[in-house]
Amino acid sequence: MSIGEALRLAQDSELDLVEVAPMARPPVAKLMDYGKFKYEAAQKARESRRNQALTVIKEMRLRLKIDPHDYETKKGHVERFLKGGDKVKITVMFRGREQSRPEMGYRLLQRLAADVSELGVVESNPKQDGRNMVMVIAPHRNAQALQQAAQSAKGREAKAEAEQNKEQAPVQQQQETEQAPTA
């Protein structure tokens, strides 16, 4: 079809002639409402940005010589972060002669990873980075979905219980008035 014919067809149907594939032989053009096309493309882009999950990386710093109680506290924080759906960067800081024993830091990080394995998976294995050893733990992919399902189930149970209590309240009041002595 010639360009003149295509332009005339576009004017008759009150649409725009848009070149879709200019490098093709012959070039490909399409009749469309270009303003509507741009608007729908912007809407799709906005929707895709809205559905993107924002990944937050929380950091937990440990020392090599950590007390058992302090370790449990830090482990609790890591568990809370993972339950919230956040990634956790765990850093073991070495000082002085501790730097000559990186295997102890590696064992500490592996122990922590094993302790929180039901909530998260090791995304990057422990790596020595100067005076620090770093490991990243990410939450399981389906953990957040399971948590949301559990919360919605609790909400449904609470609503059902509230409705049941509303239905029982008038019956109880009626029974009380029937049993009340008339004076």
Boundaries of every domain in the chain:
3-51, 57-139
Tokens in use for 123? 């995304």
- Which pLDDT score is estimated for 174? 63
**Average pLDDT by stretches of 10, the chain with 183 residues:** 83 84 85 88 88 82 93 94 91 92 92 91 91 93 61 68 68 63 59
Domain boundaries 57-139, corresponding CATH code: 3.30.110.10
Architecture of domain 3-51: Roll (3.10)
What pLDDT score was predicted for residue 3? Answer: 82
pLDDT at residue 168, as a whole number = 67
- CA angle, corner 31, sides to 27 and 32, nearest 5? 125
Strand partners, 36: none
pLDDT at 1: 77
Q: Rounded to a whole number, what is the largest CA-CA distance in the chain? A: 101
Q: What is the pLDDT of residue 6?
A: 84
Coil, helix or strand at residue 60: strand
Give whole-number Cα distances, 183 to 178, 179, 180, in Å. 13, 12, 9
pLDDT of residue 182: 59
